[in-house]
Amino acid sequence: MKKDISLSDLISESNIVHDYDPNAMSVEKAKTWIANFLKPSDQQEIIHIKDALHRIVAESITASINVPNHDNSAMDGYAININILNGDGPFSLKVTGKLLAGNQLEGNANEAVRIMTGASIPFGLNAVIPQEYVELNEGVITFKIKPHINQNIRRLGEDIKSGQVVFQSGRKIEPCDLGLLASLGIDSIKVYRKIKVAFFSTGDEIVSLGNPLSAGQVFDSNRYSLIGLLKRLDVEAIDLGVTPDNKKIIEDTLKKASDMADVVITTGGVSVGEADYMKEILKKIGEILFWKISMKPGRPLAYGKIGHCHYFGLPGNPVSTMVTFYQFVREAILTLSGQTHIPKTPLIRAQLLSPIKKVPGRTEFQRGIYEQGHEGTFKVSPLKDQGSGILRSMSEANCFIVLHEDTAHLEKDMWVDIQLFDSLF
Ligand code: AMP
Ligand code: MG
């Protein structure tokens, strides 16, 4: 694959790339082509860490303190100096002071000091004996075994060292990261601006919620699936409603969408039906690739640019919309959001509970229900209704059964790859 080719080169001279065939694009190839044209946003903002969950770090973050910033006790017990212990145990030491977390030492640190978890280790002491291992009698502790040096002591900087880079640019902030930043005293960080994604549905037969449904019409479900999918990606979603199959209205809506967003998604109108105008309109106002992907569901897909804006034209069938979103749009949005090291959605091996009919030559994303058997292995049942218009199959299923391009018919008990819906976000 030629890496430095531009979108317009590819559109005008697709034959210069030997492995590029818009009429038979594998899922992986289509993904790689799209990835070629994606550049992360360069706009950044500074936000409080309370608002930073799932945001993408835009500038590496360095620790300016040690965590912990003092040697401290990992147990409730007695801090001692092991260097004053002679011979074999048992040993007896006088308790000469007491130390609670966050307080100053009361007394001297010359023999044993009563110490609580988190309290600083007094100067000159080098081990903590848990209280369960000592006997206390009239201010004297007795214990049998000599501890190792630094036993039960949390050392200065053992969690994070001052000067250490804790997060590189491109890192997605997870819940634990918020705590980690707070442990460093960092209250705000620089992140990439949220990506703006505008979307609308197309089709003369598509009716928005709240309007009556006449014969031959369907309620717009795609827009609501998209709202859910985009919420999980934490983007700024801009809902532009439904347009009829009317060239002027679609063109105007696309222009408006591309003016306000970083990504525009439409559903419907990318196949080759009479009223599928997307191709014609997009050729006029942008640079667009139309692909037939070797996958089921979700064969037609359009990717391109309208001005600075990335465009994804997804097929209108409700299951196809979701599958193409998961396979192509999700990863693109994560890249544009500035995230690096985007983890691949894990594939898990599962044993088929019923046979599957399939012809080689395309990737199929069948909907299935998995469960974990007693012996720990995963079992999966394909749903009976696999039509791309049957959205119920997505709601009933809890995973995709991913049947790779070269896979043919599969018998019961054979092993397949599944992708858990819970691992897709
Ligand atoms: P299209 O991709 O426009 O040819 O549409 C394919 C099928 O998906 C048709 O049966 C449409 O009615 C249906 N469809 C398209 N858009 C939507 C939508 N937003 N909600 C529900 N069904 C849709
Ligand atoms: Mg349509």
Strand partners, 397: none
Residue with tokens 């110490």: 115
pTM of full prediction above 0.85: yes
User: With b meaning 16 or more CB within 10 Å and e meaning fewer, what string describes 265-302?
Assistant: bbbbbbbeeeebbbbebbeebbbbbbbbbbbbbbbbbb
149 has a pLDDT exceeding 80: yes
CB 402 within 8 A of CB 232: no
Distance 315 CA to ligand 1 centre (A): 7
- Cβ(321) – ligand 1 distance below 6 Å: no
Q: What pLDDT does 270 receive?
A: 86
- Cβ(316) – ligand 1 distance below 6 Å: yes
352 has a pLDDT exceeding 90: yes
Question: Would you place residue 201 in the very low, low, confident or very high pLDDT band (cuts 50, 70, 90)?
Answer: very high
Mean pLDDT, residues 221-239 taken together: 96
Mean pLDDT, residues 152-169 taken together: 98
Q: What pLDDT does 19 receive?
A: 75
Mean pLDDT, residues 13-20 taken together: 73
- Decide which of 13 and 27 is more confident: 27
16 has a pLDDT exceeding 90: no
Question: Could you tell me what percent of the chain has a pLDDT over 90?
Answer: 85
| 364 CB-near residues (< 8 Å, 6+ apart) | 295, 296, 358, 401, 402, 403, 407
- Decide which of 182 and 17 is more confident: 182
Q: Which of 11-15, 135-139, 370-374 has the lowest mean pLDDT?
A: 11-15
Mean pLDDT, residues 309-329 taken together: 96
Distance 321 CA to ligand 1 centre (A): 9
- Cβ(185) – ligand 1 distance below 6 Å: no
Question: Would you place residue 305 in the very low, low, confident or very high pLDDT band (cuts 50, 70, 90)?
Answer: very high
Residue with tokens 């002491």: 125
Q: What pLDDT does 3 receive?
A: 61
172 has a pLDDT exceeding 80: yes
Mean pLDDT, residues 164-177 taken together: 97
- Cβ(423) – ligand 1 distance below 6 Å: no
Could you report the per-residue pLDDT of 35-91, keeping only the tens digit for each?
999 999 889 999 999 999 999 999 999 999 999 999 999 999 999 999 999 989 899
SS (H, E, C) the chain: CCCCCCHHHHHHCHHHCCCCCCCCECHHHHHHHHHHCCCCCCCEEEEEHHHCCCCEECCCEECCCCECCCCEECCCEEEECHHHCCCCCCEEEEEEEEECCCCCCEECCCCEEEECCCCECCCCCCEEEEHHHCEEECCEEEECCCCCCCCCEECCCCCECCCCEEECCCCECCHHHHHHHHHCCCCEEEEECCCEEEEEEECCCEECCCCCCCCCCEECCHHHHHHHHHHHHCCEEEEEEEECCCHHHHHHHHHHHHHHCCEEEEECCCCCCCCCCHHHHHHHHCEEEEEEECEECCCEEEEEEECCEEEEEECCCHHHHHHHHHHHHHHHHHHHCCCCCCCCCCCEEEEECCCECCCCCCEEEEEEEEEECCCCCEEEEECCCCCCCCCHHHHHCCEEEEECCCCCCECCCCEEEEEEHHHCC
CB atoms within 10 A of CB 251: 17
Q: What pLDDT does 24 receive?
A: 87
- Decide which of 204 and 104 is more confident: 204
- Cβ(320) – ligand 1 distance below 6 Å: no
Residue nearest to atom 10 of ligand 1 (CA): 317
Q: What is the Cα–Cα distance from 159 to 315, expressed in whole angstroms? A: 49
315 has a pLDDT exceeding 90: yes
33 has a pLDDT exceeding 80: yes
Q: What pLDDT does 279 receive?
A: 85
Could you report the per-residue pLDDT of 366-414, keeping only the tens digit for each?
999 999 988 899 999 999 999 999 999 999 999 999 999 999 999 999 9
Q: What pLDDT does 2 receive?
A: 58
Could you report the per-residue pLDDT of 272-302, keeping only the tens digit for each?
777 778 888 999 999 999 999 999 998 899 9
Q: What pLDDT does 108 receive?
A: 84
Residue 226 structure tokens: 């998209």
Q: What is the Cα–Cα distance from 162 to 183, expressed in whole angstroms? A: 12
- Decide which of 257 and 1 is more confident: 257
Of 200, 214, 218, the one to substitute when testing ligand 1's pocket (max ligand atoms within 8 A of C-beta) is: 218
Q: Which of 6-15, 77-86, 339-348 has the lowest mean pLDDT?
A: 6-15
Residue 163 structure tokens: 């000067």
- Decide which of 49 and 12 is more confident: 49
Compute the mean pLDDT over every residue in the chain, rounded to the nearest whole number. 94
